[in-house]
Amino acid sequence: MVFEFKLPDLGEGVAEGEILKWMVKEGDQVKEDQPLVEVMTDKVNVQIPAPRSGKVAKILANEGDIAKVGQTIVVIDDGSSGAVIPAPTQGLASPARAVPAQQTQPTQASPGVLATPATRRLARELSIDISAVRGSGPQGRVTDEDLRRTVAAPRVVPSATVQAEVPAAHGAREEVVPLRGMRKIIAERMVKSKQTAAQVTHVDEADMTELVLLREAFKGSAEKRGVRLTYLPFVIKALVPALREFPYVNSSLDEQAGNIVLKKYYNIGVATDTEQGLVVPVVKDVDTKDIFELAGEIEKLAEKARGGQLALDEVRGSTFTITNVGAIGGLFATPIINLPEVAILGLHKIAKRPVVRDGRVEVRDITYLSLSFDHRVLDGAYAARFTSRVIETLQDTKKLLAEVF
């Protein structure tokens, strides 16, 4: 029997995924639950196991292709009958149809041009007319290398041609890097966020002098527990009373239903810088954990994020996000909201600055906090009061100690 395996529902809000790597090839025998393919979604990389044992009869999605949830990506034949195999489709816009088993050529968007879906996609990204490219592959197939040679080759421009209308040629001193993978997903998510939410950023400063001392006092205890104590767990705990007092900050906007969904739980997304791009693992139920538990969980999630080993459940369900650029530097930034949330808090470097206290100039440990928020849900005054509440807790050791344990 032939089994058409479709890209499964990978969870909350995931509609498609990029085929990163096949662990098998056509003709291979696979066993049920054996790693089959690695797929990257806008939330996480995930390995999908084989749904059953059999022979890989046909792979319908090349590495680099974008597959929709419900799209047939591979056909597995268990050998019980001479069943049909779906023919490959151009790209992955619709599920493949079953046809009698036979050798087929890829569907061609340009007449007379042989090219894989991934190569056609690269041609679109590089703004190349694939029909004008001479292919060097078997039977004249256009390859990725053919496209790159076309981009690098000098172009002869007729004198009557207006220069502004001719795409710039890339010479030996330039490198063309296709926008794909995690970078492409991040780009799409950031544009969607900016185009969807009415984003405004409120900036305030916080005196972290007492918190610096408090962290130093607890670092030894944290080390005995095998965790590295940063400022992030303290800030997360300071968020909890503020999110309780200002529940609309801990919400999402359901545009289709016309509802604001207030969350009664506190799952904090922690933006993490990785070689592949920005990933946001989620620390769940932060109100129930002390600073040592939070520190350990943040460290573990960050390591998994950098290793590309996060599970889907570890990157979904956040109600509010923090992005910490303090170790990198800069005064402050205007972070982009992590949809479908309505706000994100930017943390920045703590630096000694002269400030006026009781009419005297003192040197204190100061930082800036920047809250980007969706003005469709939160008014400016509401967002400012929320930020002030967070700062109040951070600056008051007694209030903070009441939250951290």
Tokens of 269: 């997304």
Tokens of 368: 């800036």
Tokens of 393: 């807790």
Beta strands in 50-184 (DSSP E): 54-59, 66-68, 72-77, 85-86, 98-99
Catalytic residue among 170, 202, 348, 375: 375
Tokens of 219: 């670092």
Strand duo 343-347 + 320-324: pairing? parallel
**Among 183, 30, 19, residue whose Cα is nearest residue 116:** 19
**Among 127, 179, 204, residue whose Cα is nearest residue 391:** 204
Q: Are 196 and 288 in contact (CB under 8 A)?
A: no
Query: For residue 95, what is the DSSP state?
Result: P
**Among 123, 205, 187, 131, residue whose Cα is nearest residue 370:** 205
170 is catalytic: no
Q: Classify the phi-psi angles of 376: left when phi > 0, otherwise alpha if psi is within -120 to 50, otherwise beta.
A: alpha
Q: Are 300 and 292 in contact (CB under 8 A)?
A: no
Q: Which residue has the tokens 């946001």?
A: 280
Catalytic residues: 375
